[in-house]
Amino acid sequence: MSVAAAADRPGTAATAARFSPQWIAGRLSGVVLHLAVIGLTVAWMVPTIGILFTSFRPFTAINSSGWWLALSPPFQFTLDNYSKVLSTSNLGHSFFNSFMISIPATIIPVAIAAFAAYAFAWMKFPFRDWIFLAIVGVLAIPLQLSFVPVLSFFVAHGITPSALPPGLQYLPVWLAHTGYGLPFSIYLLANFFRALPSELFESAEIDGAGTLTVFFRIVLPLSVPALASLVIFQFLWIWNDLLVALIYVGGQPEVAPLTVTLANLTNSYGQGYHLLTAAAFFSMFVPLIVFLSLQRYFVRGILAGSVKG
């Protein structure tokens, strides 16, 4: 899309005579477009950049001047904030907890959703469309509504961090995130699966493949872009989630994820937000790495060559 648009622009500029009104208009609209994009990007980035600089500045400098002054001499940069935050709070352990929560809570719902979406997209069973509609309808219910009933269910059945054996203590958040993530995941994947050409399924069926074989050998390999984007969404949402974690495992430092620990940091350190900036940056690494490493799977045209000539 963007390639085509970019290719169009010099083309239109070239067809109009140099310095003619059309030529100027073409040039101007290009400039305006670029300015708008760059402006938006910068505006979006400023707070992040501010936090980045602040996290490397000593406490005294932060209190006496704005972060942008860090760019002018005298340069005062330090790693103190990072070392302090890593040693004084149990950030390292929260980091581990975040992984222990995010990875299973991403894999479980995506895996379940893939099976469910395949059934919704390509298998015939009674009330299929109504059930699908109900699942999509659940998306409209705010998740806060479910906290009390779900939590009391968990407590009544011993699914709480204190009641579960070590290692399984994350179970409440896994279950919660699975429940909250499923409707959207099913919706997204079912729509993607439905768009796969039906001849592929028919051909595989004639070739002797059963339902599961079709799912694993045809559907999943062709759905890598959809699965990758879903994994990114789900992972980022869980990694950055504070509310669900706070409700289901909050207050238990041994299972609390990064977000909960960060939130506590503000309380216990008061205005000492120089530590908070370092901690926040520390927590941003993982989403960045996940996004950058998976984004190459957003390849379009993966279906090219399957049908038609």
DSSP classification of residue 87: H
Taking the least distance from each CB to another protein, the nearer of 145 and 304 is 304
Spell 230-268 as b/e; 16+ CB within 10 A means b.
bbbbbbbbbbebeebbebbbbeeeebbbbbbbbebbeee
Question: What does the alpha-carbon distance between residue 291 and residue 232 come to, in Å, rounded to a whole number?
Answer: 6
Q: Is residue 305 within the footprint of another protein (CB under 8 A)?
A: yes
Residue (of 227, 68, 102) closest to 173 by Cα position: 102
- Smallest distance from the beta carbon of 128 to another protein, in angstroms? 15
Q: Is 195 in the site for another protein (CB under 8 A)?
A: no
Task: Kindly write out the interface string for residues 122-161 of this chain, putting x where it contacts another protein by CB under 8 A and - elsewhere.
Answer: ----------------------------------------
Q: What are phi and psi of 299, to 5 degrees?
A: -85, 130
Cβ-based nearer residue to another protein, 197 or 251: 197
Dihedral, CA of residue 122, residue 126, residue 132 and residue 137, to nearest 10: 170
Stretch of 9-17, 149-157, 196-204, 276-284 contacting another protein, by CB under 8 A:
196-204
Cβ 117 vs Cβ 193: under 8 Å = yes
* Structure tokens given for 166: 């070590």
CB 185 within 8 A of CB 140: no
Of 15-23, 145-153, 291-299, 301-309: span binding another protein (CB under 8 A): 301-309
Judged by CB under 8 A, the residue of 103, 138, 163, 209 near another protein is: 209
By the rule CB under 8 A, 4 interacts with another protein: no
Burial group, residue 283, by CB count within 10 angstroms (0-12, 13-18, 19+): buried
Q: Tell me how far, at minimum, the Cβ of 221 lies from another protein, in Å.
A: 4
Question: Contacts with another protein: how many residues (CB under 8 A)?
Answer: 26
Stretch that binds another protein, among 4-12, 68-76, 177-185, 195-203 (CB under 8 A): 195-203
228 binds another protein (CB under 8 A): no
Query: In this chain, which of 166, 206, 296, 300 binds another protein, going by CB under 8 A?
Result: 206
Q: Contact positions toward another protein, by CB under 8 A?
A: 197, 199-200, 202-210, 213, 217-218, 221-222, 301-309
